[in-house]
Structure 1
Amino acid sequence: MVWLWELCSRTKREGSHSIVGHRAGVGQFPYLALVVGDGSAICGGSLITPTAVLTAAHCTVKYEKFIIRLGGIYRNKSEHTAWSIETSWAVAHPDYNTDSYRSNNVAIVFLPQKAPMNRYIKLVTLPSPKDKDITLLGQTTMVSGWGWTFNSTKNQDILRWVEVKIVPNSLCEEHYEPKRITSSILCATNNSSGLCHADNGGGLFLQTDRRDLQIGVASFCSSSCTDETPAAYTKLVSYIGWINRIAEIQDE
């Protein structure tokens, strides 16, 4: 058994994991957020209300200030479609386990004012509590981010995305330490690319009915961007009650 998750999380920028895949187009992921902690730690996120961004807990707990960038595909380049704001208000799940580093790995960053809703900035669709019994195994999903690629050990300037398939948690258990993979985790891979350093906090999305349904939050992965080790995602349906309550979203 090879335990790789610690290698992935202990990078120069803790909280960061990049997508090896395709360059994103403008407006392709209008709900996606760039989350920058204390000016350096790069994570992803998703806009769930005009004033709330969903991300991973470990992208928030060690930082005091956050820059949230919406509507763009570049990390630093000026774009007429992009909107940025600074905030210092984030709420991590109360049961987030900083010792094991990945349990209950979900958080919400709140914006001091409403994000402008337009064709480039939109809200993501979240699962309903009624979706808890839906089988996701074998489904093709999407992940995106500004992290490393297999041939570049630095964060990317432009957003990238890739398709990954949901695989059994038992496959994850072959690669990670005992009890690391719980029932509140989804595992996904495409055998050659997926999450890498600086993609954490971003969403795992299922395309359905012409919309992108977020089913997970990128939590941890292996140290390599190109091996067959599945990445782990916080399963949103397990936390949707907490998310809706904290973000003041009415349950369907």
Structure 2
Amino acid sequence: MAVIYFKTVLFGFLVFLLNINCMSINGPALTRYDPCGLAVVYFDKITDKLWRGVVNFNLYRLSEAYIEIHFEKKAKLYGASQNTSISVINNWHGFILKPNGETPIPYSFFVSIDNSEANTTDVPIVTQFKINNVTLCNDAVKASQTIESLNVTKTSSKYKQICGRRSLDHTELVSVRTESRAGDWPWHVAIFLWNPNMTNEEYYCGGNIISRTAIVTAGHCVRKDGVTVDASRIVIVAGVSNRRDSKQVGRQIVMAKEVILHPSYTDTLATADLAVIKVNSFQYTEYVQPICLWGPVYDKAMLFGKAAVIVGFGQTEDNKPSDILRSTYTLIQNDTTCVTFSANVYENLLNEFTFCAGYGANSTVNPRNGDSGGGLVIPVLQPDHKVSWFLRGVLSKCGVSPGSKDCDPHYYMVYTDVGPHYGWIYHHSGLKFQSHIIESTS
């Protein structure tokens, strides 16, 4: 996956400039900090010392808002996106913000951390966050957010599996448009095929853990030379950010037991480009966890214009598979946008079972060869105010320029929508039907 970045400068106000170097990595990664893994507030790194805090008031219906936020280190605020009354408390460790007038959507403010002390991180680590005197994040909440609290390490049937959640260490601080850390996307796996003419395996595709015994990938990822690959040739590597590092903590290697190709699969269409690979068993850890599966209710029109994350070990700018897992944002498009871009490419690929995503002709942010089978994942607010990640699409088709064999980043990608296939996937994945909405404990 080859990507570019937005660079920023501070000149009176924040101005964003697009630095275009095709198929290469330039500038800083987009680093995002999510206190307690909340959906309502996050911080994006703007410069080495400046962060932009964003509060998603659109998640709640509030006639007025009163924000109280405390930081681990002394901090400075540099204004907000709306006229705001700001009070300093707790010796510059805390602030009270009260936007004046109608509650803004979204609402942002700018903060920096006093890093004059030795070994002080510039991350604006939040120790407490309240909206209208309701505590959503504090040290007690953080202490309770362990792998054990998610019950994903338990084997007893009395424990409910919770999907789409990372451990706290990998929930609060994640970078995209760059190299990932192990545990950032714990449901993503690398699929290798044993080559009969070689003594080792070759990287082939990506996949998504949805149960202890199953992954979902693209149907064409279990096809080779027009034939479905025998399960004995498939090796799954999970829990890593470097697929070649055999000593990486968290690494799990499992062999495929069974390959189940969707009965409606065809080589030319994306409508049912899905397969389930059954394995013996994954051990859920902070590096290996399941993704939630979208469905059974689905309406792809609700996706149009939404941002999503894609992850993969696909080709980089040197046209070789990446050893390091990369991630980036993409934008889900209306079918009409993609068909208008190229009717020859998209008219036969887009229907009620597929959708397209990307940034269009001026983009160099896209999956490439080797990213197939990876998931398009969407963060969903849950009743406990936190995010669970849902698998909505599996990468199926890419646009290819005339005379080339490689995915062209200027084309939109086509994804198989997992929503319409929810029942089929569940039936073959050892899962019992259940809602993935987590009941609030507050």
Do the structures match in fold with TM over 0.5?
A: yes
Whether 2:391 is the aligned partner of 1:214: answer yes
Name the counterpart of 2:210. 48
Name the counterpart of 1:130. 297
Greater Cα offset, 236-245 or 126-135? 126-135
- Count of aligned pairs: 232
Instruction: Give the conservation status (yes or no) of the 8 Å contact 2:270–2:415.
Output: no
Instruction: Give the conservation status (yes or no) of the 8 Å contact 1:200–1:218.
Output: yes
Moved over 6 A (4+): none
Name the counterpart of 1:105. 273
Instruction: Give the conservation status (yes or no) of the 8 Å contact 2:242–2:325.
Output: yes
Aligned counterpart for 2:223 among listed residues 61, 66, 77? 61
In the TM superposition, what whole-angstrom CA distance separates every residue of 1:84-128 from its partner, at most 9, and x where no partner exists?
A: 122251101001013x253410010010x2111111110101112
State how 1:186-225 maps to structure 2 within 5 Å. Answer: 186-190=355-359, 191-209=363-381, 210-223=387-400
In the TM superposition, what whole-angstrom CA distance separates every residue of 1:138-169 from its partner, at most 9, and x where no partner exists?
A: 110000100112x2110000000110010011
Give secondary structure in 2 for the equivalent of 1:123.
coil
Shift in Å, 1:219: 0.5
In the TM superposition, what whole-angstrom CA distance separates every residue of 1:66-91 from its partner, at most 9, and x where no partner exists?
A: 11011111111121211012225110
Give secondary structure in 2 for the equivalent of 1:239.
helix
Question: Which amino acid counterpart does residue 184 of structure 2 have in structure 1?
Answer: Q
Instruction: Give the conservation status (yes or no) of the 8 Å contact 2:368–2:409.
Output: no
Question: Which amino acid counterpart does residue 242 of structure 1 have in structure 2?
Answer: W
- Rounded to whole Å, the distance in 2 between the matches of 1:116 and 1:186 is 33
Whether 2:335 is the aligned partner of 1:169: answer yes
Aligned counterpart for 2:187 among listed residues 31, 39, 46? 31
More strand by share: 2
Name the counterpart of 1:118. 285
Name the counterpart of 1:15. none
Instruction: Give the conservation status (yes or no) of the 8 Å contact 1:128–1:251.
Output: no
- Rounded to whole Å, the distance in 1 between the matches of 2:414 and 2:300 is 19
Give secondary structure in 1 for the equivalent of 2:277.
strand
- Rounded to whole Å, the distance in 2 between the matches of 1:80 and 1:227 is 33
- Rounded to whole Å, the distance in 2 between the matches of 1:183 and 1:171 is 15
In the TM superposition, what whole-angstrom CA distance separates every residue of 1:23-47 from its partner, at most 9, and x where no partner exists?
A: 1122100111111133225211010
Unmatched tracts of structure 2, length 5 or more? 4-176, 195-200, 382-386, 401-405, 435-442
Name the counterpart of 2:75. none
Give secondary structure in 2 for the equivalent of 1:58.
helix
In the TM superposition, what whole-angstrom CA distance separates every residue of 1:44-66 from its partner, at most 9, and x where no partner exists?
A: 10101101011000001332211
- Rounded to whole Å, the distance in 1 between the matches of 2:296 and 2:266 is 23
Bigger CA radius of gyration: 2
- Rounded to whole Å, the distance in 1 between the matches of 2:261 and 2:415 is 16
Name the counterpart of 2:259. 90
Question: Which amino acid counterpart does residue 46 of structure 1 have in structure 2?
Answer: N
- Rounded to whole Å, the distance in 2 between the matches of 1:28 and 1:83 is 15
Shift in Å, 1:227: 3.7
Name the counterpart of 1:140. 307
Shift in Å, 1:250: 2.2
Query: Relative to structure 1, is the Cα distance of residues 187 and 214 closer, same or farther in structure 2, using a 3 angstrom cutoff?
Result: same
Name the counterpart of 2:240. 72
Whether 2:247 is the aligned partner of 1:81: answer no
Name the counterpart of 1:4. none
Greater Cα offset, 138-147 or 178-187? 178-187
- Rounded to whole Å, the distance in 2 between the matches of 1:19 and 1:202 is 15
Aligned counterpart for 2:323 among listed residues 157, 164, 169? 157
Matched residues, percent identical? 23
Shift in Å, 1:241: 1.1
- Rounded to whole Å, the distance in 2 between the matches of 1:236 and 1:47 is 14
Aligned counterpart for 2:414 among listed residues 221, 229, 232? 232
Shift in Å, 1:187: 0.8
Normalising to structure 2: TM-score of the pair? 0.50
Normalising to structure 1: TM-score of the pair? 0.86
